[in-house]
Chains A and B, each alone.
Chain A
Amino acid sequence: MTLKRRAFVLGAGALSVTALGAATSSIDWGGVEQESLLVAGSEEFHPYAVKLVDGFAQTRPKLDVVVEAGGTAGGLLALKRGAIDVALTSRELTATEDEKLTRAYLVARDAIALVVHPGNPVGNLDRKQAAAILRGEVRDWGKLPGGSAGPIRLYRRKADAGTQKALDKMVLANAEMATSAIVMESGHAMHDRLAADVQGFGFLSLHDVTPAVKVLAIDGVGMSRASILGGSYPFTRSFFCVTHGAEKNVVRAFLSFAQGPQGQNILKGAGLISVR
């Protein structure tokens, strides 16, 4: 049964959503009290949401859960049609998405750090300069304020890495990164390379940052827990659990868990910034 439901939620497209409406009503629980929690949405939030829902499921052994990606738009559509209980987003809702009965619970924040070698004299970039370096339009440190002449060696992650996707969206506004960029297999590899390469320019998720590398300020704002929560650091993203209309008991319990100490610790452990 779980497989069948999973198949319906997968993709969260309009067709499967309609089909799910029919499927749930035909489920025979066989007299056993069973709860279900269907969660779908943002690809960026998904890996963290899986951990969050797993932690919640451990507190509720009888709970039948499904967590799928499928995209923010698909998730919100499925939510409003009643096909899922919680939609995941990695951005604020737009005015049209934020309907009267829609509630967006902020559960975590995250940020992308732009990183250089500690010996690099450059300490601050504006957003345009950051994007220009990543696109390969600025190729020499001497072209940047405070920089000493020498080629910029650009590092990147694989296209499907979460941090790369976050960078593409937040810093590059979905423009292409320079093809000359050297691919790093992991955040750790990126970190170690930047700690060793005085010409290097790369990026890290907040949880991979250590004092062995130098994080650049953006538009004069340094990256810190305070500037991420306050929102003045520009490359910040927010993760929301969204509900619509009446929230059934299991959904309320899940939201309390996500916003409570256990859920927040899970998200923090996964590298995000807790918001409670």
Chain B
Amino acid sequence: MPVPRLQPRYRASGKFRAMLVLAAIGLIAAHTARAAESTVHLRGTSALVPIAQKIAEAHMAQTADAIIVIRTADSEPGLKSLLDGTTDIAMVSGDIPAEMEKRAKAMGLKLEVQPVAQDAIVPVVHPTNPISSLSMDQLTAIYGGSTTDWAEVGGKEHEMAVLVLPAISGTASGWKHAVLGDRIQTAKAEPLALKALKAKVAATPDAIGYMGLSAVDGTVKPVSVDGIAANTDTIRKGSYPIRRQLSLVTSSASSAAARQFVSRFLSSEAQAAMAASGLVPVQ
């Protein structure tokens, strides 16, 4: 960690007596330790932000000096922040990118992954688009670039506007893995952040994009895959084919407070809240 938030010499019990001798320093140190122990910062996937906010805000309402900060980002920046010491917990959609595993290893850190929920990744189109189901092969052809017109999949003749999430998004890598495998994504795909992607699909009759099921709302139309609509039931059964795991990631250097906060996501209340928001709990 580049900047120690806690100065280890004050934390080590062996130095505790020195602290008592230097009363002034001791007071400051004790204060630092107390403040830091009840402080946890989380950063990462927007798929977990609403649930993290619920848990954090309930916790802060109960515990006066607790500080839980939530920052929305893509999965990879969340992991980057975990590794460079600017956050305590990374919220991650899908697998840990190899690059991040490598970086952690180089730093002598072990990443600890706690799955907390499952979510579906759903193709979405404009609400007026007549298409309501696509096969996996059709999606592969659309995202690989060999199908470019809606007429080829039974829609009205018009060129498709193919939208994707940015590469640093865990949802994007989950989608690529399931839909494209080793194939290369069409160069025509326009990368947009989730909010912008949703707005563009909602405003563009020829657009196709994708997002986590928990992000789908009335402004876009979800499309079934191989005839199976994404819902908590089909995710749990495993029949809906494009799923991703949502996890909280800490490292071997993480604080006890961070680990404790992770365990709050596994409580029955938290898991029930996840189910209510369209995620599938792990327990």
Residues of A within 8 A of B (CB): 92, 95, 98, 100, 103-106, 109, 225-227, 229-232, 238, 247, 252, 255-256, 259-262, 264, 274-276
* CB–CB A238/B53 < 8 A: no
A103 CA to B69 CA in the complex, in Å?
Answer: 17
Interface residue stretch chosen among B73-81, B120-128, B135-143, B145-153: B73-81
Which residues of B sit under 8 angstroms from A247, Cβ to Cβ?
2-3
| B5/A230 in contact, CB under 8 A | no
A276-B68 CB under 8 A given contacts A95-B166, A227-B57: no
Q: Find chain B residues with CB under 8 A from A260 CB.
A: 5, 32
A109 near B61 with CB under 8 A, answer: no
In the complex, the 6 A-B pairs of residues with the closest C-beta atoms, listed nearest first? A226-B60, A230-B57, A230-B53, A226-B57, A230-B56, A255-B3
Within the complex, the shortest CB–CB distance from A100 to chain B, in Å, comes to: 8
Q: A261-B35, A275-B41 are in contact. List 19 more A-B contacts (CB 8 A).
A: A92-B71, A92-B72, A95-B74, A95-B166, A95-B168, A105-B3, A109-B69, A229-B56, A229-B60, A229-B70, A230-B53, A230-B70, A231-B69, A231-B70, A232-B53, A252-B2, A255-B3, A259-B3, A275-B69
Please state if B5 and A276 are interface contacts (CB–CB under 8 Å): yes
How many angstroms from the CA of A244 to the CA of B167 in the assembled complex?
22
Complex: A230 Cα to B67 Cα, angstroms: 9
Q: Give the complex CA separation of A259 and B69 in angstroms.
A: 14
Interface of A is mostly: mixed
Known A95-B168, A260-B32, A276-B35: A229·B86 in contact at CB below 8 Å: no
Determine the chain A residues whose CB is within 8 A of the CB of B275 once the complex forms.
none
Q: Is B256 an interface residue (CB 8 A)?
A: no
A256 touches B71 (CB 8 A): no
Within 8 Å CB of A106, what residues of B?
41, 69, 71, 86
In the docked arrangement, what's the CA distance between A255 and B3, Å? 7
Contacts of A238 in B (CB 8 A): 71
Q: Does B110 contact A (CB under 8 A)?
A: no
Q: How far in angstroms is the closest Cβ of chain B from A219? A: 12
* Complex contacts, B35 vs chain A, CB 8 Å: 261, 264, 276
Q: Is B266 among interface residues, defined by CB-CB distance under 8 A?
A: no
Instruction: Flag B6-31 by CB within 8 Å of A: 1 or 0 each.
Output: 01000000000000000000001001
